[in-house]
Chains A and B, each alone.
Chain A
Amino acid sequence: MEPLLLYPDPPPPVLVQALDLAGYPWKAAGTAEAATRLEPGDGWAGAVVCADVDGEGAFALCRALRKRDLPLEPLLVMVAGHQLADLELREDMFDDFCVSPFQDRELEARLKHLFWRTGQGTRPELVEYGPLILNLETYQAAIAGRPLDLTYMEYELLKFLATHPGKVFTREILLSRVWGYEYYGGARTVDVHIRRLRAKLGTEHEHLISTVRSVGYRFGQSRWGL
């Protein structure tokens, strides 16, 4: 999936975290020029523009993005509660909005819905990392061309990790994101499933999931090659 355009640059950390967790790649741009300069070959997947910090700059960017030959969509604008009035007469400049402070789940749901409505493949169907391929549509995983016979939870865990390569997750985060909070087995459950996944990946590929001592687990390499 191509990245989402984020404004401003740097974007608010809470937004970055929410998008990372939801598995959306992104790049930040502070101006319309930067947005053009940084645009990936296949175009931005969409944009999330935060108006709650600098409303004027944000709406100027929205206008610029919509005035292009191929107007950028979908475009989600984040506003503070007192800015709701600013949305009036600007309906053409965004596809949906979200009031901040926002809830991760709401943002995720709105993005998902936007992508569905605009007919874009909402999520990448294929996740590839080195020898690993996950097909999110068919729930199938393969390593070096060999199908992996995973149980449901092993698949969910691998999917979550593989869609966030290079990121370190604590057991608690993995538990809440993959199992949901209601699961009572505790973080040891995560260890058990990581071990099962590694066993299935086989000695040749088990290093894809590394243990980060006293923190948690990471899939693949970190962006900084650490």
Chain B
Amino acid sequence: MAVMERPQDYVLRTVEERGVRFIQLWFTDVLGIPKAFNITPAELENALEEGMTFDGSAVDGFSRVQESDVLARPDPNTFQILPNRENGPPVARVFCDVTNLDGTPFEGCSRHVLRRQLERAREKGFSFFAAPEVEYFYFAGEEGRPEPLDQGSYFELTVADLAGNLRRRTVLTLEDMGIPVEYSQHEDAPSQHEIDLRYTDAMSMADTLMTVRLVVKEIAREAGVHATFMPKPLAGVQGSGLHTHFSLFEGDANAFHDEGDEHHLSAIGKAFIAGVLTHAREITAVTNQWVNSYKRLVVGYEAPVYVSWARNNRSALVRVPAPKRGKKESTRIEYRAPDPACNPYLAFAVVLAAGLRGVEDGYELPPEAATNLYELTPEQRAAEGIAALPGSLSEALEEMERSELVAETLGEHVFTWFLRNKRAEWADYKAQVTQFELDRYLSTL
């Protein structure tokens, strides 16, 4: 009998002391859709020691041909009692890694894909931090019809509005769960909201995003409102992005910071940006994984369209915000492509892999985009060598399929499954006749 490890001990004791009725084991499929099953306190000790067996084929993306069982292995450090909003018996959740029965990491496990990149970074002495800005919409009534709750605009003070209350309740619940919120506000579009999270290491942040999406939806649901992270739910207004601030640290030193540089950006920082830009088109299928994602990445709505970087230009794909005065540790890059419906584990993994590739191979940073890129003509962009992000899921998948970097980062299993699943989505989409076509063509053609 192995000696119980302290975190496990802590979890078991807490379950007993607090009278936790059941524990939700959380994990995600390849598309970032949360999955969970419940176990009782009686099963917990065994789950912590040996993991819980479940049928991998029952979950999208987990094992296909060989109908093999896999194990959900709870990570005791992520054990958290869920805020008790209805005064029932306490319920807890714990994130799980998915492994094969022999304990080796399961290739379809998203946490494993991210961890592999974090370990690569660690071998070079880096730790990787992320701070995302999560945008989403609240809609009235049932799913399926996007009816905005309010008509507020950016920073509007909406006193008695339901959406504002929902957002506040969400923020308080998140704080109760130890998820500090830096900022929350009403966004530009009607019924659009934003919650900015304080940075953590990338793994914790990916876990956190899974939690945030669930908490936002759950609190909305309680009020009979539907919250959505769909990238572009309304035509003609801004979509929802997941602009994410990234930084690399070497021990306690910000590896992106260089006091001597004109803009306080180190050689590592520059090479990292160059890596992200060079591979941007290849990783877009992962950071923007739905047909609908590409309705957001269009000109005119503050979403990035062109592969470029800039310090203060919100049309750029990579933005380097000015560090706060004298705060070396706040030097970071903001990657503006991802949307909040991505799988955060995979998205962080491919951004890190692209950036590290730039650092390893010493990529050269192209000049900063000086003007508003939306205003350039195609000829001007061509002259400046500015590429565009993929314009559709189909184009993004073609780029991804050719990418040795993405194949290596995701691993063959996830890479193949992802391409197949997404091709099928595209094929379904292509076969549709849309309202746009009916409106435009039915009477005139």
Contact = CB atoms under 8 A, between A and B. Distances in A.
A195 interface: yes
B119 to A, nearest CB: 10
A186 B252 contact: yes
A152 B11 contact: yes
Contact of B198 (A153, A184, A185, A195): A195
A139 interface: yes
A154 B178 contact: yes
A152 B180 contact: no
Residue from A138, A171, A188, A198 with most neighbouring chain B CB atoms (10 Å):
A188
Contact of B18 (A140, A192, A195, A196): A140
Interface residues of A, number: 27
B128 to A, nearest CB: 10
A161 interface: no
Contacts of B78: 151
Residue from B14, B127, B174, B178 with most neighbouring chain A CB atoms (10 Å):
B178
A189 interface: yes
B179 interface: yes
Given A152-B11, A152-B77, A199-B175, A192 B122 contact: no
B303 to A, nearest CB: 29
A136 to B, nearest CB: 11
Nearest to B129: A188
Contacts of A198: 180
B102 interface: no
B178 A151 contact: yes
B396 to A, nearest CB: 33
Interface in A142-198: 147, 149-155, 171-172, 184-189, 192, 195-198
Given A140-B14, A149-B80, A189 B175 contact: no
Given A188-B252, A188-B329, A198-B180, A139 B79 contact: no
A133 B287 CA distance: 44
A152 B17 contact: no
B76 interface: yes
B272 interface: no
Interface of A: 138-140, 147, 149-155, 171-172, 184-189, 192, 195-200, 202
- Report, nearest first, the 3 A-B pairs whose CB atoms are least far apart: A196-B178, A149-B81, A199-B175
28 contacts: A138-B17, A139-B10, A139-B13, A139-B14, A140-B17, A140-B18, A149-B80, A149-B177, A151-B78, A151-B79, A152-B6, A152-B77, A153-B77, A171-B252, A172-B252, A186-B127, A186-B249, A187-B252, A188-B127, A188-B249, A188-B252, A192-B198, A192-B199, A195-B180, A196-B180, A199-B174, A199-B180, A200-B177
Given A140-B17, A151-B78, A189-B201, 6 more contacts: A149-B83, A149-B176, A154-B178, A188-B199, A196-B180, A200-B175
